[in-house]
Structure 1
Amino acid sequence: MDKLKILVISNLYPPQVVGGYERAIADYARLLQERGHTVLVLTSNTEDLPTGYQKADSDPSTVRRCLSLWGTWTERGAQPFYPAHVASIAVRNYKTLEQELNSFKPDVCLAGNTDFLGSEILEQILAAEIPVAHYVMNSQPGYSHDLAPRSPLYRYITVSNWIRDNLQQQGYPAETAQTIYPGADVEEFYQAELPQRDRLRIVYASLVMHYKGPDVLIEALYLLHNAGVEFTATIAGGSLTPSFVQALQEFVESEGLQEKIHFAGLLSRPELKQLYKTHNIWVLPSRFEEPFSIGLIEAMVAGLTIVTSDRGGSPEAIQHSETGLIFESENPLDLADNLSSLPVNPAEWEAMTRKGQERALSELSRTCTMDRLESVLYELALQNKKINQ
């Protein structure tokens, strides 16, 4: 089967990141290229992010930071620019994309996060008779349902069944949507030996922001402390709201928990892998409906016990009491109860963790993800050829 020329569109691209979405798309672009496909990435150059792009960093030649976003992220959340500025950016992006399409002539497009790019950029690609597979990892695809492309060459790939069902309920054309779980890099995160389980060694590894619920975890840890349950915990991750992080740190200090709860800040992947060797529980306490957590699968592969809130798509990765634990969102008492139940039944704790790791290895690996994603891209490219014959 002939290899494809694949255009990848993403609003952000590492090292300029806000979360896991852009990291996943970057991984897919790299892995598709490793499979022999020719890949061109079009993205923005957004240097003012907290994890900002440094000029000294060398990008692959296939990454072009030539698009402009018509908004930014602040402590108040996503903020679009004023309308006249948005219009001028849209015109500039149209001309830039036109040049790239004429030069690269892709067979298919893999779209990622289109926040502050909008559906116009997708419509332009479709108008050039290039099919689009849009991998949706947020509750919305970056535009309202009335602006959704209606082409038969446009297909949603969703990160969870929850996202797929949510899109349909909102009125997006998701009848042909296919769920492909993001999977983890098994080779990078796998640990053959399970972490030590002498006590609860808990890690939180995500954005340290209110909607992610780290405060729920810290409240649960406070309850464990008062109940005399032995534990240590690490809070790892960057933040767009430093005042929130400061409030958490002040609470920890006021309750005398600074010896038990450590704030590690933003960690690199190698640092995260090292952290997983010394921790045995990974908690996702999201209060918002998390589409699906890639970090959850990475921790599962590493042999950590997964404890997640019951919101969004992440619970699809585990079965309660079989391959992990699920607690009621925004309920620190329920979270504390689930955490404290683990050391009481050490044999069950170990069995649950091993089953979780086995499921991640067999069903949620990055190889499985790439096989399914590559199949969809081939299918769309073939469908387009038949239409244009």
Structure 2
Amino acid sequence: MKILIISNLYPPRFLGGYEIRCAQVAEALHRRGHDVRVLTSVFGLPVKFGGRFQQATESVGGIRVDRLLHNYSFGPQPPYRPWMLFQAMRELSDARNLVEVLSEFEPDIVNCWNLNGIAKLLLAVLQSRNIPTVHWIEDSWMINDYGPAGEKAAQFWCAIWEGCWGPSVLRQIFKQIGNRWEARVARKGLPTRSFSGQPALVSFVSEYMRTIYSDAGLRFPASSVQFGGIPRDRFYVPLAEKPRQERLLKVLYAGQISSDRGLHTLVEALGWLDPSSQRQVSVTVAGIATGIHDNYYRQVVSRVRDLGLTEMVRFAGKVGHDDMARLYKNHDLLVFTSTRPEGLPLVMAEAMVAGCAVVTTGSGGAQEIADLGQLPVFPKGDSRALAQLLEQLVTNHDLLREIAERGQVAALRELTLEGMIESWECTLAQLVRSPSCRQELCVQSPRRRTR
């Protein structure tokens, strides 16, 4: 099959697990003999003179990656803002780039991943070309930026064409210009009014994620739930091979640093430990704060100092994903403190495959992993409850090993990339053969639940 993957970010320039899993799937499909191409944004590329980003085409893992799309602010954006005209021009440029890629590559199917921060006009282009399109959903970008019938994306273009932006005294002129501009765009085959088409299939990474989409009014003719997978060959460590220092519990926090990811809960929990337990714990923080989260990071570091934990807590900064397997192997316990509406946390699944014990808040789809592995769960933001768990695990090494064993067995049964790819490849092939038989998809694999 010829598969075009569209994602806002793509390694090695990425922020989180959504993009990592996208790349793992792309490379696995490529290894299975499929012709895979990736269309992504210019995120992380140098800025040229005049503020324009450099575009690039490169090979990543043997796959052609076209970094052509503009990258806008992540998260919901107000439809009325001074730079609307510039964004419209950039979105139209992105749409033309997509049309060129479709014409040149002629994919059998398009697989959309995280489209947060890039032009939703791309979805209208795909709908107009009648190419089978399948979405892999791990967060709420479609709720925030698109809406049940694409009305949030359409609102932007309606404002542009109707002149509902800029100084009020000029809006009639803007409307006249907008009407002529819209006609020219329409003649080039770029749809800007209709965003209501439905993808052939939407696959959610957890039942929780499917539920919040349904609650927000986004219901699709065909949807499935398929857990994201972890490459066993990269992360699996037999428990007998994990190094263990009997008098030291090595704790790991891994991921981006922001208030909704809850690192402060772990720090406060360390402060509640009695002094003898504190001497038996070391903590590695693997991750960085970006942009608006810098102040939160400084507050956490300051709190570590105030609690006298500087010898216990080591801030390792950003750790490359290729180095995470080593990090998991050298730690006993991953503490997942998130309060976010998680899709299916990559770090939890990776740590479990690598033989780490995991304790979690169970936030969002994290609860589904916790249920699979019968993991200890503590309430979101409850540092005292987490401290009690840590006190237990400092002294009860048998319990620590039991948690690690249960988690690893469950992860190897349900959360491997190999199992995920087998099912995903079958799904894509079915859609290519018969895009209309959406209701019959995904019935062969016990890992997937379909509506």
CA contact (8 A) 1:202 1:280 kept: yes
CA contact (8 A) 1:140 1:167 kept: no
Report the Cα distance in structure 1 between the residues aligned to 2:332 and 2:122, rounded to whole angstroms. 44
| Counterpart in the other structure of 1:112 | 113
Deviation, 1:122, is 1.8
Deviation, 1:238, is 1.9
Q: What number of residue pairs does the alignment pair up?
A: 377
CA contact (8 A) 2:281 2:394 kept: no
Report the Cα distance in structure 1 between the residues aligned to 2:17 and 2:420, rounded to whole angstroms. 15
Aligned mate of 1:204, from 253, 270, 275: 253
- The 3-state SS of whatever aligns with 1:146 is coil
CA contact (8 A) 1:209 1:245 kept: yes
1:143 aligns with 2:146: yes
Q: 1:174 to 1:218 in 2, by over 3 A?
A: farther
Q: 1:64 to 1:163 in 2, by over 3 A?
A: same
Aligned mate of 2:13, from 4, 13, 16: 16
Deviation, 1:347, is 2.3
| Counterpart in the other structure of 2:340 | 288
- The 3-state SS of whatever aligns with 2:359 is strand
Aligned mate of 1:64, from 52, 63, 66: 66
1:357 aligns with 2:408: yes
- The 3-state SS of whatever aligns with 2:149 is helix
Q: Which moved more, 1:145-154 or 1:200-209?
A: 145-154
Aligned mate of 2:223, from 177, 181, 200: 177
Report the Cα distance in structure 2 between the residues aligned to 1:344 and 1:145, rounded to whole angstroms. 51
- The 3-state SS of whatever aligns with 2:377 is strand
Q: 1:144 to 1:256 in 2, by over 3 A?
A: same
| Counterpart in the other structure of 1:219 | 268
Q: 1:301 to 1:218 in 2, by over 3 A?
A: same
Deviation, 1:223, is 1.1
| RMSD of Structure 2 on Structure 1 (CA) | 2.6
Query: Which residue identity lines up with residue 204 of structure 2 in the other structure?
Result: T
Q: 1:317 to 1:195 in 2, by over 3 A?
A: farther
> Percent identity between the aligned chains?
28
Runs of 4+ in 1 over 3 A off after TM superposition: 52-61, 77-81, 148-153, 225-229
Report the Cα distance in structure 2 between the residues aligned to 1:381 and 1:225, rounded to whole angstroms. 60
CA contact (8 A) 1:162 1:291 kept: yes
Report the Cα distance in structure 2 between the residues aligned to 1:243 and 1:48, rounded to whole angstroms. 25
Aligned mate of 2:369, from 302, 305, 317: 317
Report the Cα distance in structure 1 between the residues aligned to 2:371 and 2:148, rounded to whole angstroms. 32
Query: Which residue identity lines up with residue 386 of structure 2 in the other structure?
Result: L
CA contact (8 A) 1:134 1:155 kept: yes
| Counterpart in the other structure of 1:27 | 24
Segments of structure 2 that go 5 or more residues without pairing to the other structure are 47-52, 152-194, 439-451
Deviation, 1:151, is 4.2
| Counterpart in the other structure of 2:391 | 340
- The 3-state SS of whatever aligns with 1:246 is helix
Segments of structure 1 that go 5 or more residues without pairing to the other structure are none
| Counterpart in the other structure of 1:38 | 35
Deviations 1:174-221 (A, max 9, x none): 352111111111110111124426232110000011111111111111
Deviation, 1:111, is 0.5
| Counterpart in the other structure of 2:183 | none
Q: Which moved more, 1:35-44 or 1:335-344?
A: 335-344
Q: 1:227 to 1:257 in 2, by over 3 A?
A: same
Q: 1:257 to 1:91 in 2, by over 3 A?
A: same
| Counterpart in the other structure of 1:275 | 327
Q: Which moved more, 1:335-344 or 1:290-299?
A: 335-344
Q: 1:174 to 1:118 in 2, by over 3 A?
A: farther
Which has the higher Rg, Structure 1 or Structure 2? 2
1:263 aligns with 2:311: no
Deviation, 1:269, is 2.5
| Counterpart in the other structure of 1:379 | 430
Aligned mate of 2:2, from 2, 5, 17: 5
| Counterpart in the other structure of 2:281 | 231
TM-score after normalising by structure 2: 0.78
Deviation, 1:109, is 0.7
1:252 aligns with 2:253: no
| Counterpart in the other structure of 2:88 | 87
Deviation, 1:225, is 4.7
Structure 1 segment 89-104 matched on structure 2, within 5 A: 89-104=90-105
Report the Cα distance in structure 2 between the residues aligned to 1:150 and 1:181, rounded to whole angstroms. 27
Report the Cα distance in structure 2 between the residues aligned to 1:386 and 1:273, rounded to whole angstroms. 40
TM-score after normalising by structure 1: 0.89
Report the Cα distance in structure 2 between the residues aligned to 1:259 and 1:317, rounded to whole angstroms. 32
Query: Which residue identity lines up with residue 156 of structure 1 in the other structure?
Result: V
Q: 1:184 to 1:197 in 2, by over 3 A?
A: farther
Report the Cα distance in structure 1 between the residues aligned to 2:338 and 2:432, rounded to whole angstroms. 37
CA contact (8 A) 2:253 2:263 kept: yes
